[in-house]
Amino acid sequence: MKVLLFGLIAEKAGSDHMEIPATSTADLDRQLQDRIRGLKGLSYSIAIDRTIVHGDRALSGSEEIAVLPPFAGG
Amino acid sequence: MKVLLFGLIAEKAGSDHMEIPATSTADLDRQLQDRIRGLKGLSYSIAIDRTIVHGDRALSGSEEIAVLPPFAGG
Amino acid sequence: MSEAKKHKVKDIFVEGAIDPTFVSESIAKHATRMDIGAHEIFLGQVRADAIEGRAVVAIEYTAYREMALERMTDIREEAFTRWPEMTCLHVHHSLGSIAAGQLCFMVFASAAHRKQAREAVAWVVDSVKEQLPIFGKEILSDNDHVWKRNA
Amino acid sequence: MSEAKKHKVKDIFVEGAIDPTFVSESIAKHATRMDIGAHEIFLGQVRADAIEGRAVVAIEYTAYREMALERMTDIREEAFTRWPEMTCLHVHHSLGSIAAGQLCFMVFASAAHRKQAREAVAWVVDSVKEQLPIFGKEILSDNDHVWKRNA
């Protein structure tokens, strides 16, 4: 599935998105940390269909997934 | 002494000032009520030298006296 | 020390309504202040309240100017003491006839962070309404009038 | 029912800095609203903070637009519920590179009386900062950068 990356995370990844075949957010986390150097020490949230989720969630593959560093609006 | 009148009080008096020889604010109040029809039912404050005073105060005649209806700024 | 912190007596009164472009010009002047992160602005607009079936078409403002400017100087000084991060405070109030829909009052504070600007504006707006001897004659649609009083 | 109360998804984002004249134009548009007595405006300005001896010269803002606009629609709807006297709420945020001293954020509420406009602006400003996925890259005077994060 396509995973959207923003701000510092996109900078670390060198791209604003990645194709990651993840079955859950925990699985997604592991794969992101494998593929993005330095991600583990960073603070970030996962949004599914534009809402931030906490804890592990199953993913069907049809969701809109985004990885969000700390917000800085205003 | 010259007494400055504002807003509704000036309207009732038909002038923005009056000459009143008062020896205290209580004396001033009595003279104002004699001279300005309808004043007694109104809410107003007395300022001496640009500060509102409460209770009876002696007046020497050199003060700047003002009669102030309710404020309506803003 | 900034201009605003000298606490000299400033004239807050302007004849007629406050033009919206006056607000944008005030904002633009702060673009050189690199320590400002937040501006908070309050604007009072004349409301066409209905009074016994007649609409307010304008308010005619008058003031006891000398006392108002003294109280304003005290309010300004206290505001800079209470909110030391505040860099600028601008207050303007109209005199004369201000039509419904026009602006009659502006309080504009700037600070490094939003909390001090926000609190300062709220307190200054309330203090001006309570303490400044400003009087308002509400002109009604039938040319009658009533004297406004702050609650 | 006013435009603002329809709660449709509005685009809050503008490319580049917010011009002070945009603020005055927004103000001027309310001169026909006879039920408005108070406008409260918050403006965020890019601050030239010193970071390890280097000044911030600009912030480059990016956003997850679709999520930001959904969260903003929710915030707007809740604001009109909490402050039913509020007649209008306008929110704009910059994207792209905004130089120190320029404006990047505006929240503008109008109401019959000041209390509702004041409270709504404070809450909306805080909600936008907390909930909208907006990211800021602070460009330093030596061309290095750091990523801003709201406290």
DSSP-based three-state secondary structure for B8: helix
Assess C57–D contact: CB distance below 8 Å, yes or no: no
How many residues appear in chain A? 74
Chain C nearest-CA distance from B66, in A, is 9
Give B18-46 pLDDT, tens digit per residue.
999 999 999 999 999 999 999 989 999 99
Task: Look up the CATH number of domain C53-151.
Answer: 3.90.1170.40
Mean pLDDT of A44-72: 97
Chain C residues touching residue B69 (CB < 8 angstroms): 135, 147, 149
pLDDT surpassing 90 at residue D76: yes
ipTM: 0.94
Q: Does domain A2-68 have CATH number 3.10.20.30?
A: yes
How far from each other are the two terminal CA atoms of chain C, in whole angstroms?
37
C-alpha–C-alpha distance, residues C43 and C125, integer Å: 9
Q: How confident is the model at residue C2 (pLDDT cuts 50, 70, 90)?
A: very low
Average pLDDT over residues C108-113: 98
Burial label for C35, CB within 10 Å (0-12, 13-18, 19+), is middle
Matching residue, tokens 């600070």: C111
Domain limits, chain D: 53-151
C-alpha to C-alpha distance for C85 and C65, rounded to whole angstroms: 29
Suggest the residue from C18, C22, C41 to mutate for an interface test with chain D (most D CBs closer than 10 A): C41
Band of residue D7 on the pLDDT scale cut at 50, 70, 90: low
pLDDT tens profile C67-94: 999 999 999 999 999 999 999 999 999 9
DSSP class of residue B24 equals: B
Q: Do C133 and B6 touch (CB under 8 A)?
A: yes
